[in-house]
Structure 1
Amino acid sequence: MFTTRPELAGTVGMVASTHWLASAAGMAVLESGGNAFDAAVAAGFVLQVVEPHLVGPGGEVPAVFATAGDPRPKVLCAQGVAPAAATIEHYRDLGLDLVPGSGLLAATVPGAWDGWLTLLRDHGTKSLREVLGYAIGYARDGFPLVERIPATIATVADLFREHWTTSADLWLPGGRVPAPGSRMRNPVLADTWERLLAEAESAGADREAQIEAGRRAWYQGFVAAEIESFSRKAFRDDSGRDHPGLLTGADLANWSASYEDPVTAQFGPWTLAKCGPWSQGPVLLQQLLLLDRFADRLSYVDGLPTAETVHLAVECAKLAFADREAWYGDSADVPINDLLSTGYAAERAKLIGDRASLELRPGAPGGRVPRLAEFIAQGRGIGGGEAAVSGALGEPTVSRDGRVRGDTVHIDVVDRWGNIISATPSGGWLQSSPTIPALGFALGTRAQMFWLEEGLPASLAPGRRPRTTLTPSLALREGEPVLAFGTPGGDQQDQWQLCFWLAHTLGGMNLQQAIDAPAWQSTAFPSSFYPRSWQPGELVVESRLGAEVIGQLRERGHGIVDAGPWALGRLSAVSRDPATKLLRAGANARGMQGYAVGR
């Protein structure tokens, strides 16, 4: 079966990510004796430098992992919460019915720094300087710009020049959009990290004491002070007006990353672990539970899914994502046990027929009555929603033709001892919030995922997490953690992961083959991102599914958008065989950026 590159295999360690420099940095840490958690932290910080249009220090990171000494998976939640002043009334008083997708009003507490340092403290072995040094080097000395960075900057160049001048100072050197492949530097960010290191190392030689001091320096020190000061200023956002932000030093000081148990479901010998319903993670579990009802109708022929397989997968996705819209969030209790019960899946599966559904149909888990946000119920996002007027990109992710305008990043690592982790860092994109000039990075815009309507699981509320799309995956086989995988892609993440999962577990493909296999995605449910658009019945496909399969899908009523042969997904994956101790990895070739490394 054709693959773009070989599946890697070895015994020392594997790192797969969305950028070769991050993967290389992670592998360097493994080579120096570090473990998978050390490597993931180093790679995560490098991604904040070399993919600044996809992730930044002002963002967040969810991860799911297992340690060599304990096969039970755990979730690291480093998703920051809404500020104390972020009430529905405040936004409504500004004349808003959606949280803008860009600017300072959409900022939540930056979670990535505390998340990475918490993971390093509790499960790593290296010092903060050892894992952060790679990122500092690229920020200080420069890194090559992949093609998408200048293209993204060009899209927002006028906004930068006219309204976000601090961003123009950093990202428009000499007043011009930098050229692809040119060398870019961010010395202010390097200085910020060096100052954090200095304050960390002032705590003495003890590794954990240094990490704790580094956490305080961010959330109770100079970083928090700069964020609060900058947030008092007003900047243009998607409303077409200038607004200040709401974050304060107290918001940062009162928050910290945490651990929690994952949500899991069983599929034969497999157990799949995901982040809870404050994310969209359980959507993948719901899709698979629904598909289990059609197991005898799913198949691959010559490495390709049949039209029946794609149709059923898409219709299951529509039902699962409709439930996400009605039931997921951090502002109300989520009936997750009912949503993931086999009885509920059986009832929901009865709605799936041979034709593409054009409806958004949330279910009634445990007899509860579903309620959608009024914005959705009124159909206001259908057909494209209201266009952003600022020109900023608050992570619109994948457009209808499959082109990526904004996105995020992903990392998977496994080591020789059996530690394994999947992480999907995101937020703080250069194109969606103005640069803080004293720090060298932008805040995130994750609050756009809240609804400005009371009583919903995803309603805006102070101190609550936005219902994020970030959704790393960890799979166990016969109780042993063996597979970590994930992808950027906003709402598409758990659809592309479904494509990978089916190709790997049903199609019998190895990691690289399953990543390379043609993918598809439905846009028939509301986007999590401003302006919350959706296209009932639309199905975006890679042309490599084949003319016959695509034609059959069209005959079933799917509104086909052909995205081209290689357009959907940025997956990576690593695995381990507990019996042979062999480690494997694969990474996405789409976009010519993601790489797996290992030996």
Structure 2
Amino acid sequence: MFTTRPTLQGTFGMASSTHWLASQTAMAVLEDGGNAYDAAVAAGFVLHVVEPHLNGPAGEVPVLIAPADGPVRVLCGQGVAPRGASIEHYTSLGLGLVPGTGPLAAAVPGAFDAWMTLLRDYGTLSLERVLGHAVGYAERGHPAVERIGETVETVRELFETEWTTSAALYLPGGEAPAPGALLKNPALAATWRRLLEESAAAGPGREQRIEAARRIWREGFIAEALVAASARPTMDTSGERHTGTLTGDDLAGWEAAYEDPVTYDWNGWTVCKAGPWSQGPALLQQLALLPDGLTADDVRFEGTDAAPDSGAADSASADGAFVHRLIEGTKLAMADREAWYGDADGASAVPVEALLSQEYNAERRTLVGESASRALRPGSPEGRTPRLSAHATAVAEGREGSFTPDPGFAGGNAAFRAGAGEPTVARTGETRGDTCHIDVVDRWGNMISATPSGGWLHSNPVVPELGFPLGTRLQMAWLEPGLPNSLTPGRRPRTTLSPSLALRGGRPVLAFGTPGGDQQDQWQLHFLLAAALRPQIRGGPDLQGAIDAPDWHTDSFPGSFYPREMHPGSVTVESRTPRSVIEGLRRRGHDVSVGPAWSEGRLCAVARDPESGVLSAGANARGMQGYAVGR
């Protein structure tokens, strides 16, 4: 199969991320004697600098860790709702949804503490050596990618009239960063230098200094600046100015924590995901809904294994039947996500075991018919009655009146709502951006997959003392009580962030993931099927071929981001998809939109053959940013 790049192979180390500077930083750390975890932390902080439109230090990051000599673990870097973030508080302000921007949408920041916890427990290098790469890019600058300036232009009016601290950084002299122009963030560099200086006073020990950095974030000058930012009245997507609920006690009282992964055994693979506070189990549900006996012929995506520019080349059997089945399975899994997933316990606890059971999925499989469904159909695991939010039900049924959009969204304040939601791919296939991802495997067999996001430049005003803004993850929680994902102080809002690890014979083989909001576990399913079932190349999985294959997504369920839209029956495909597949989907009742040739999917992946020790890597060519490196 033609690919945009080769699948890299070697024996020393491999890194793949959504920005070449982060990938090369990870490799530099490996060359410097660090392990995969040192490399991932360094790359994560570089991503905060070079992709500020996609993530920041006050965002969040779920991490999957596969040590060479230990079990797979999940490190949760998703912060909780502050103590004052109650449904009653938000509805008393006249809100029907948590705003998509502004301090009301800010959860307790989780990314920084997760990176520090990972470095302390699994890394080997000092904080100074790992953080130094990000300090250098923030201080001396980096060539801006096209999407930074394009994103800033979408919020220019908001920055110039309301979020003036953001304008000072991203619109100096009234000009957005031009592609290739040197972009610096001296405030962020100064923040990290002060952090390093203050943490060094804790003593010479590596762990002492990392622990000191964690305290400074939670209780020191950084915490003080974040709390002050939350207290400033800020224009958000509601068209009004609101203050947030984040306090010093919220910051001091939260820390990243380890959990066991949720796993599913499929076709000789054990796929590992974060729990249902993420959307990760949706990938496992899609696997559970697949028919038995899949082969490589099924996963050729019915004729799409042609050269990328030969999308018109059809196959006689390529009528869209298999893609139709995948789409319908995605709808069922995502309907369950809406009804069941969240950071809940007690009577509302997520019935994960039942959702992945053979009996449940055999019953759900019968709902996949010959025609596209336009209904939102959650199931009843263990006989329990599913409950959808009133808004989800309203958008699913296309009713008016059950939900009144906030005036800033319904009115003409386009500039004030432009930053709402996680950047992703529009239903038309138009690329609006993404979040970030990084995978690393080292020569010892340690493997990691992480998806940093949130706290992007258009989520909240830049905190001038720090050089980065608060995040907006609370927008994913509902302002309706009694749901698994109801806004609840001290609980995590359900996140779309969803890194992946896969084992064979109990040994780590594959780490992968993608940006893309609600599309993450759709694109990851397609990648996994292709990587697992296609013929190997040079003794390893064809990672690049699986990444480059034409892809698609559906929006036939309520979106996770403000204003929580849904498009029943929709499917967006790349124009490289064969005509016969597109026509076959339309015959089955799918509302197919054809997007640009390279617009779907942002996959990164690394792999290791546990028998030979050969390492592999691939990265997404879409967007001209992702890169894999290794040797």
TM-score, with structure 2 as normaliser: 0.93
1:238-283, CA deviations, whole angstroms, 9 ceiling, x for partnerless residues? 0000001110111000000000000000012100000000000000
CA gap 1:345/1:293 in 2 versus in 1, 3 angstroms = farther
Matching of residue 329 in structure 1 with residue 329 in structure 2: no
Q: Residue 175 of structure 1: CA displacement?
A: 1.9
Q: d(CA) in 1 for partners of 2:487 and 2:434?
A: 23
- Partners of 2:380 and 2:88 in 1: how far apart? 30
Q: Is the counterpart of residue 307 in structure 1 residue 323 in structure 2?
A: no
1:513-550 superposed Cα distances (whole Å, 9 cap, x missing partner): 00001111011001000000010000001121211111
User: Partner residue of 1:418?
Assistant: 445
**1:145 pairs with 2:144:** yes
Which range is displaced more, 296-305 or 335-344?
296-305
Give 1:450's aligned residue: 477
Equivalent residue for 2:366?
350
Quickly say closer, same or farther: Cα 1:306–1:576, change in 2 above 3 A. farther
Amino acid at match of 1:29: V
Q: Distance in 1 between matches of 2:174 and 2:65?
A: 44
Partner residue of 2:519 out of 469, 478, 492: 492
Q: In the alignment, does 2:629 pair up with 1:597?
A: yes
Match of 2:418 in 1: 392
Change over 3 Å in CA distance of 1:262–1:329 after alignment to 2: same
Which residue type is aligned with residue 392 of structure 2?
A: I
Q: CA contact under 8 A between 1:392 and 1:432: conserved in structure 2?
A: no
**Structure 1 segments unaligned to the other structure (5+ residues):** none
SS across alignment from 1:83? coil
Q: List per-residue Cα deviations over 1:94-125 (Å, max 9, x = no partner).
A: 00010000011000011111000000000000
Superposition map of 1:182-261 within 5 A: 182-261=181-260
Once residues 48 and 229 of structure 1 are traced to their aligned partners in structure 2, the CA distance between those partners, rounded to angstroms, is 21
2: CA distance, partners of 1:399 / 1:454: 30
For the Cα contact (< 8 Å) 1:102–1:392, is it kept in 2?
no
Equivalent residues of 1:16, 1:412 under 8 A apart: yes
C-alpha deviation, 1:477, in angstroms: 0.6
SS in 2 for 1:320: helix
My pick for the range that moved more, 6-15 or 542-551, is: 542-551
Name which of structure 1's ranges 481-490 and 380-389 shifts more when overlaid on structure 2. Answer: 380-389
CA distance, structure 1, for counterparts of residue 393 and residue 557 of structure 2: 12
Superposed CA offset, 1:209-264 (max 9, x none): 01000100110111111111121110100000000111011100000000000000
Instruction: Report if the CA contact (8 A) 2:100-2:417 is conserved.
Output: no
Residues 349, 138 of structure 1: CA spacing in aligned structure 2 closer, same or farther, 3 A cutoff? Answer: same
- Please name the residue that 1:156 is paired with: 155
1:565 aligns with 2:618: no
Cα distance in 2 for partners of 1:85, 1:438 equals 25
- C-alpha change, 1:567 and 1:406, in structure 2 (3 Å) is closer
Give the drift of 1:306: 6.0
Choose from 527, 533, 546 the match for 2:578.
546
Which residue identity lines up with residue 162 of structure 2 in the other structure? Answer: H
1:41-85 Cα deviation digits (max 9, x unpaired): 000000000000000011011011111111x21101010110000
Q: CA deviation at 1:502?
A: 1.6
Percent identity among equivalent residues? 61
3-state SS in 1 of match to 2:263: strand
The one-letter code matched in structure 2 to 1:3 is: T
Residue 373 (str. 1) matches residue 405 (str. 2): no
With over 3 angstroms needed to count, the CA separation of the structure-2 counterparts of 1:109 and 1:292, relative to structure 1, is same
Task: Report what 1:84 is aligned to.
Answer: 83
Report the Cα distance in structure 1 between the residues aligned to 2:106 and 2:193, rounded to whole angstroms: 25
Q: Could you tell me which residue of structure 2 aligns to residue 318 of structure 1?
A: 331
Give the AA of the match of 1:436. Answer: V
The 2-side partners of 1:75 and 1:382 are apart by: 38
User: Which segment is superposed worse, 285-294 or 9-18?
Assistant: 285-294
Q: Secondary structure at the match of 2:576?
A: helix
1:344 is paired with a residue whose SS is helix
Name the residue aligned to 1:581: 613
Which amino acid in structure 1 is aligned with residue 79 of structure 2? G
Between 1:56-65 and 1:271-280, the stretch displaced more is 56-65
- After alignment, is 382-391 or 279-288 more displaced? 382-391
| CA distance in structure 2 between the partners assigned to 1:536 and 1:157 by the alignment | 33
2:311 aligned residue:
none
Distance 1:413 1:478 in 2: 20
Q: How much does 1:178 deviate?
A: 2.2
Distance in 2 (alpha carbons) for counterparts of 1:526 and 1:426: 20
Counterpart among 400, 407, 411 of residue 434 in structure 2: 407
Contact 1:516 1:589 in 2 (8 A): yes
In structure 2, the partner of 1:362 is 378
Find the aligned partners of 2:597 and 2:228 in 1 and give their Cα distance.
47
Contact 2:230 2:244 in 1 (8 A): yes
Matching residue's letter, 1:424: T
Deviations 1:542-590 (A, max 9, x none): 1212111111111111100001211011100000001111000000000
Structure 1 residue identity aligned to 2:354 = D
* 1:302 Cα deviation from its structure 2 partner: 5.4
Report the equivalent of 2:113.
Answer: 114
Q: Cα distance, 1:506 vs. partner?
A: 2.7
- Partner of 1:523, secondary structure, is coil
Q: Distance in 2 between matches of 1:381 and 1:178?
A: 42
Report the CA distance shift for 1:497/1:210 in structure 2 as closer, same or farther (over 3 A): same
Change (3 A) 1:557 1:294: farther
Please report the RMSD computed on the Cα atoms of aligned residues, expressed in angstroms: 1.6
The verdict on how the C-alpha distance between 1:440 and 1:458 changes in structure 2, with shifts beyond 3 A counting, is same
Displacement of 1:293 in angstroms is: 4.8
Shift of 1:376: 1.2
User: Which amino acid in 1 is paired with 2:350?
Assistant: V
Change (3 A) 1:261 1:146: same
Count the aligned residue pairs. 598
> By how many angstroms is 1:295 displaced?
3.7
After TM superposition, give the deviation of residue 396 of structure 1 in Å: 4.3
How much has 1:303 moved relative to structure 2?
Answer: 5.2
| Residue type of the alignment partner of 2:444 | W
1:485 alignment partner, SS class = strand
1:16 Cα deviation after fit: 0.1
Cα shift at 1:507: 3.2
Match of 1:474 in 2: 501
State the secondary structure of the residue aligned to 1:482.
Answer: strand
Q: Which residue of 2 aligns with 1:508?
A: 535
Query: Do structure 1's residue 61 and structure 2's residue 61 form an aligned pair?
Result: yes
Moved more, 217-226 or 465-474: 217-226
Query: How far, CA to CA, are the matches of 1:251 and 1:344 in structure 2?
Result: 40
User: What whole-Å deviation, never above 9, does each CA across 1:356-392 have from its counterpart, x for those lacking one?
Assistant: 1110000000000011000111227959995474133
Could you give the per-residue CA deviations for residues 427-446 of structure 1, whole angstroms, max 9, x where no partner exists?
Answer: 00101211111111001000
Q: Which one-letter code corresponds to 1:578 in the other structure?
A: P
What TM-score do you get using the length of structure 1 for normalisation? Answer: 0.98
On the 8 A contact 1:87/1:461 being kept in 2, the answer is yes
Shift of 1:294: 7.4
More divergent stretch after superposition (323-332 vs 377-386): 377-386
Deviation at 1:406, TM superposition (A): 4.0
Q: What does residue 266 of structure 2 align with? A: 267
